[in-house]
Structure 1
Amino acid sequence: MLPSLPLWRPGKTWRRLLCCALAGAGLLGASAARAQEGGAAACKQLIASGNPQYPPYLWRDTEDESRLVGANAEMLTWLSKELGLPIEARYIGPWGRVQEEARAGRIDLIAGAFFTLPRTEYMDYFHPPFRETRSVVWVREGSRLNYRRWADLAPLQGITVINNSFGEEFDRYAREHLKLAQVASLEQALQMLQRSRADYLVYEDSPAAAYQARLNIGDLKALTPPVANENLHLTLSHRSACNTPELRGRIARAMYKLARQGLMQAWVDKHIQLWKRQSP
């Protein structure tokens, strides 16, 4: 038989070290919990923005140009009630600046962004998306462009709005194969296309049609098939003081509820009519 070995019992020094380690772990856990609670406590309001030239989804309030109105702003009002937190839909500037403000954490939410990998470096996307959109090729009425696939655009000069995305696949193809200039606003892009300073415009169908009606531009048409069908997401800046696991979970649950109840379509229909009634 093997000799029995004595049962090891930690000495005083080992007991002290073990106690210190357990106490340290407890302090770290308590510290992390307090930091998370502090972040949640500090979050008293969410500042949201988005593309301000995006009817019927978002545009500047004619009575208070510091505010954004539209279907996405109404979605934020609904979300505010769901979260029990005030959400301000604020005009920050053009779409490019909105993205930079989100990157810096000076705004919390973007109400309407397509998914791209570079944007995941500075903001979280919520699923499910709250709206599917269709991006198309716009041309003048007399255009002879026989568009069936992206390659048909390669010989021509195109135009779009700066910092707009039409999905990872099309964006990559455009960078590598298309002559697609970028301008500051949709209004400018539509006017350039009308004046033959570009052969085609790539933009979403509903916002572009809304702006044409406002600008009284009636000699442009959309071609099929669309270049992309993309989803609009709500996003939260990584640097937002409100970005905690608890709040992300609450927002995700709210967005699931919104999609399940099919609320967006009524808001879009309502704000299409509101946009048409407003004077330029």
Structure 2
Amino acid sequence: MSNRRFICAVLLSGLCGLPAGLLAAGKCERLVATGNPQSPPYLWRDPLHPDLLQGASADLLQHLGRELGVEIAVLDSGTWTTAQDEVRNGRMDLLLDTPLTLPQLEQLDYVHPPAWSVDTLVWVRREHALVYNDWSSLRGYKGADVRHAAGTAEFAAFAKDNLTIETLPSLSKALQALALGQHDYVLAPRDAGQLALVRLGLTEQLQALPTAVMSQSLFLGLSHNSACNEPWLRGQLAKKMTELLASGVPATVLQANLARWQAQQAPAVDAPSQ
């Protein structure tokens, strides 16, 4: 059994050992969360504890846990797809940074308000003539995006019928391909894109255009199959999330994790040669 599975099993066995009356009273003492391990500054693998995730979303969740008096472990499930499966089937309780979709409403209770609002921008080479005003501005250009990147259903429908966009496995690969002229633009979130440019040494070659292509809310989701999914917990998560947002905690942890991610990276690699 991997360390990740062992940690999860220990936490869940402890959860299952709690008296039924305690759970029913809304006093669940342990929760297990997961999310996309490749989405800095919100979540990424802890280099010192590879079975755990760190980032702004993990820190925000720990704030919630302390407010509620609930222990929360944020574990790495391996991929975004696996993370969603682990929460849907109840092996983990909470899914971090998930967009609200109709299919997932049948499997998750979404904690309102959303934890984050993420803008997706158009990234181009600095000498490129593309001017972005609306979705139609991208017609006739060759674009790229990233697998599992956040996106709205409305934009996906428009892109399918009107745009040429290649989906690549990582943001680094997409931006490197853009710098080499293999694409005209890349669609990527504002913060993640800027971090990647710094990491790759491409800040002089690439830039983001100012107008957002879309803005998407990302929520904390509680599994319908979680043993801890009780009215008390749902209500308290919503209450405490509202209080944290009003107090400015998300902005503070986001800035701290932007700095943390950059500090953990190796020196920037050379930019791709032209």
TM-score class, shorter-chain normalisation, is 0.7 to 0.9
CA displacement at 1:193 relative to structure 2:
2.1
Q: Aligned equivalents of 1:122 and 1:80: distance in 2?
A: 22
Partner residue of 1:245? Answer: 231
Residues 240, 190 of structure 1: CA spacing in aligned structure 2 closer, same or farther, 3 A cutoff?
farther
TM-score (norm 2): 0.81
- Whole-Å Cα distance in 1 between the matches of residues 87 and 139 of structure 2? 33
Tell me if 1:64 matches 2:49. Answer: yes
The separation in 2 between residues aligned to 1:198 and 1:103, in whole angstroms, is 36
What value does the CA root-mean-square deviation take over the aligned residues?
2.3
- How many residues end up aligned between the 2 structures? 247
Shift of 1:267: 0.9
In structure 1, what is the equivalent of residue 200 of structure 2? 215
- For residues 270 and 119 of structure 1, the distance between their equivalents in structure 2, rounded to whole angstroms, comes to 31
Distance in structure 1 (CA, Å) of the matches to 2:59 and 2:262: 17
Check if 1:272 corresponds to 2:258: yes
Question: What does 1:1-280 align with in structure 2 at a 5 Å threshold?
Answer: 43-218=28-203, 219-280=205-266
Using structure 1 for the length normalisation, give the TM-score: 0.80
Distance 1:183 1:107, change over 3 A: farther
Cα offset, 1:222, TM superposition: 0.7
| C-alpha distance in structure 2 between counterparts of 1:174 and 1:88, whole Å | 38
Equivalent-residue separation in structure 2 for 1:195 and 1:118 (angstroms) = 38
Structure 1, unpaired ranges of 5+: 1-33
Tell me the equivalent position of 2:14.
none
| Contact residue 26 and residue 230 of structure 2 kept, 8 A | no
Q: Report the alpha carbon displacement of residue 220 of structure 1 after superposing the two structures with TM.
A: 1.2
Instruction: Provide closer, same or farther for how the CA distance between residues 250 and 120 of structure 1 changes in structure 2, counting only shifts above 3 A.
Output: same
Which SS does the other structure have where 2:209 is aligned?
Answer: strand
Q: Which has the larger radius of gyration?
A: 1
Q: Flag structure 2 segments of 5+ consecutive residues without an equivalent.
A: 1-18, 267-274
What SS does the corresponding residue of 1:221 show, helix, strand or coil?
Answer: strand
Q: Distance in 1 between matches of 2:179 and 2:106?
A: 37
Tell me if the contact between 1:50 and 1:111 (Cα under 8 Å) persists in the aligned partners.
Answer: yes
Deviation readout 1:39-71 (Å, 9 max, x if unpaired): 668954211122222222221111112111111
Change (3 A) 1:42 1:183: farther
Any idea what SS the aligned residue of 2:61 has? helix
Instruction: Report the CA distance shift for 1:245/1:62 in structure 2 as closer, same or farther (over 3 A).
Output: same
Distance 2:26 2:247 in 1: 30
CA 1:250–1:42 in 2, change beyond 3 Å: closer, same or farther?
A: closer
Checking the alignment, whether the CA contact within 8 Å between 1:53 and 1:186 is kept in structure 2 is: no
Structure 2 vs 1, CA of residues 189 and 96 (structure 1 numbering), >3 Å: closer, same or farther?
farther
Amino acid in the other structure paired with 2:165: L
AA partner of residue 206 (structure 1): D
CA displacement at 1:194 relative to structure 2 = 2.2
For residue 273 of structure 1, what is the amino acid of its counterpart?
Answer: A
Q: Secondary structure at 2:211's aligned position in 1?
A: strand
Q: Do the aligned partners of residues 108 and 197 (structure 1) sit closer, same or farther apart at CA in structure 2, a change above 3 Å counting?
A: farther
Question: What fraction of aligned residue pairs are identical, expressed as a percent?
Answer: 37
Deviation (angstroms), 1:146 = 2.3
| Deviating 4+ runs (over 3 angstroms) | 34-44
